[in-house]
């Protein structure tokens, strides 16, 4: 009897003994194809009843139908590559957390001149010296009143006299330094403002320095230059009052200072006392003028040149083409009359 291996297809002559496994590939052997062994070893097949028709063709025992695709066999499937173990990190990886920022469209205007910190420190130091000078002259005036009835110690009188002179000299130098720094700041600020708008500076640098540093002349021209700068930066509405107050106090302080210098050559005791009081008031007015100039300076420096002060606000378009909405009639009541409203 012949048995066919279902795996390798080898035909084996098993003689008169049915086997189950293929000696070559250890695959399962199909049933024997002979009729003698089939009748002895296999199960009895039912006899076909008369009048019964078979649905398909006869298939020998030990064979089966296998449906295959016509043509060449399909290519073998590729084995999926092993991905390996899951990666672990002791710290958060930074290779995917890089932020890139585009360069700003508007570049900042390069400004020359003194820095804001230098101007602030110089102004604060000058105000401190002016306050100290005013205090020294106040002490000197008190000593002059005491000297009318009591003879002062020569050391105390000399310290009051020379101390007032030393403080006055230091205050004069500090005021000149503050004027120079403020003039350089004004020139640099005007240049940056006009450059940002794309217009040339209408005034030359020497004209600006002469109008800000020449005594008495600067009373008329320095505030004008500041007002032009405020108009260029569209900040005159916010700085008009501080500039006007600073201008007025500066003019009064300059007049009092000139009067104190003119009366400083007197020799009588009453004239010296009066000059001390006038000098004290002049120092206080200079301190007030410098403090107001500090406020004007901060009014410009609170906002850079590149950032305009004008703000655009969205408003409704009430043009002639848009007709106003007609009033609608009140909606009728939801609940019928005579009944309570629903819960």
pLDDT at 185: 93
Question: What average pLDDT does the structure give for the chain?
Answer: 79
Determine which of 77-86, 103-112, 131-140, 201-210 has the lowest per-residue pLDDT on average. Answer: 103-112
Q: Which of 50-54, 74-78, 86-90, 123-127 has the lowest mean pLDDT?
A: 50-54
Residue 246: pLDDT over 60: yes
What are the pLDDT digits (tens) for 268-305? 888 888 999 999 999 999 999 999 999 999 988 887 77
Q: What is the mean pLDDT of residues 320-333?
A: 51
170-254-233 Cα angle (round to 5): 95
Tell me, what's the pLDDT at 342? 46
pLDDT exceeds cutoff 80 at 53: no
State pLDDT tens for residues 227-245: 999 998 888 888 999 999 9
Q: Say if CB 42 and CB 72 are below 8 A apart.
A: no
- Looking at residue 59, its pLDDT comes to 55
Specify the pLDDT at position 38: 45
Among 1, 91, 67, residue whose Cα is nearest residue 39: 1
Please indicate whether residue 27 or residue 59 has the higher confidence score (pLDDT): 27
How does DSSP classify residue 111? -
Which of these ranges, 105-114, 161-170, 253-262, has the smallest mean pLDDT? Answer: 105-114
Q: Can you give the pLDDT at residue 52? A: 54
Rank 83-92, 260-269, 320-329 by mean pLDDT and report only the highest.
260-269
pLDDT of residue 39: 44
Convert the pLDDT of each residue in 123-179 to its tens digit. Answer: 999 999 999 999 999 999 988 888 888 877 888 888 888 888 899 999 999 999 999
pLDDT at 37 over 50: no
How far apart are alpha carbons 147 and 141 in whole angstroms? Answer: 10
Is the predicted pLDDT of residue 82 greater than 70, yes or no?
Answer: yes
The answer to whether 11 and 2 are in contact (CB under 8 A) is yes
Q: Which of 251, 254, 271, 255 is nearest to 263 (CA)?
A: 271
Q: Minimum mean pLDDT among 19-33, 120-134, 213-227: which range?
A: 19-33
Is residue 62 within a helix (H) or strand (E), and if so which, with residue range? none
Instruction: Map residue 57 onto helix, strand or coil.
Output: coil
**pLDDT band (50, 70, 90) for residue 30:** confident
Alpha carbon distance 227, 229 (integer Å): 5
Q: Cα–Cα distances in Å, from 228 out to 194, 225, 343? A: 11, 5, 70
């Amino acid at each position: 009897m012949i048995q066919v291996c279902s795996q390798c297809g080898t035909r084996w002559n098993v003689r008169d003994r049915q086997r189950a496994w293929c000696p070559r590939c250890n695959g399962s052997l199909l049933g024997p194809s002979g009729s003698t062994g089939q009748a002895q070893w296999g199960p009895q097949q039912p006899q076909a009843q008369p009048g019964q028709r078979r649905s398909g063709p006869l298939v020998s025992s030990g064979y089966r139908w296998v449906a295959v695709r016509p043509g060449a066999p399909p290519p073998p499937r590729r084995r999926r590559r092993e991905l390996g173990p899951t990666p672990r990190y002791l710290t958060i990886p930074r290779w995917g957390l890089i932020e890139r920022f585009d360069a700003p469209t508007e570049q900042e205007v390069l400004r020359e001149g003194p820095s804001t910190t230098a101007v602030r420190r110089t102004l604060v130091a000058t105000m401190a010296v002016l306050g100290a000078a005013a205090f020294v002259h106040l002490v000197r005036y008190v000593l002059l009143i005491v000297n009318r009835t009591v003879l002062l110690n020569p050391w105390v009188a000399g310290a009051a006299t020379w101390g007032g002179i030393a403080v006055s000299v230091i205050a004069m130098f500090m005021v000149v330094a503050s004027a120079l720094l403020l003039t350089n700041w004004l020139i640099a600020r005007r240049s940056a403002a006009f450059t940002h708008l794309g217009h040339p500076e209408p005034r030359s640098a020497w004209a600006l320095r002469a109008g800000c540093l020449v005594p008495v002349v600067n009373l008329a021209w320095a505030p004008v230059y500041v007002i032009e700068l405020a108009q260029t930066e569209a900040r005159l509405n916010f700085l008009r009052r501080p500039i006007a107050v600073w201008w007025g106090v500066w003019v009064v302080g300059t007049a009092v200072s000139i009067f104190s210098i003119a009366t400083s050559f007197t020799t009588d005791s009453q004239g010296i006392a009066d000059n001390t009081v006038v000098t004290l008031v002049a120092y206080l007015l200079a301190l007030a003028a410098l403090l107001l100039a500090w406020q004007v300076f901060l009014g410009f420096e609170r906002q850079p040149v590149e950032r305009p002060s004008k703000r655009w606000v969205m408003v409704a378009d009430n043009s002639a083409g848009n007709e106003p909405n007609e009033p609608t009639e009140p909606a009728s009541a939801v609940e019928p009359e005579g009944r309570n409203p629903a819960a």
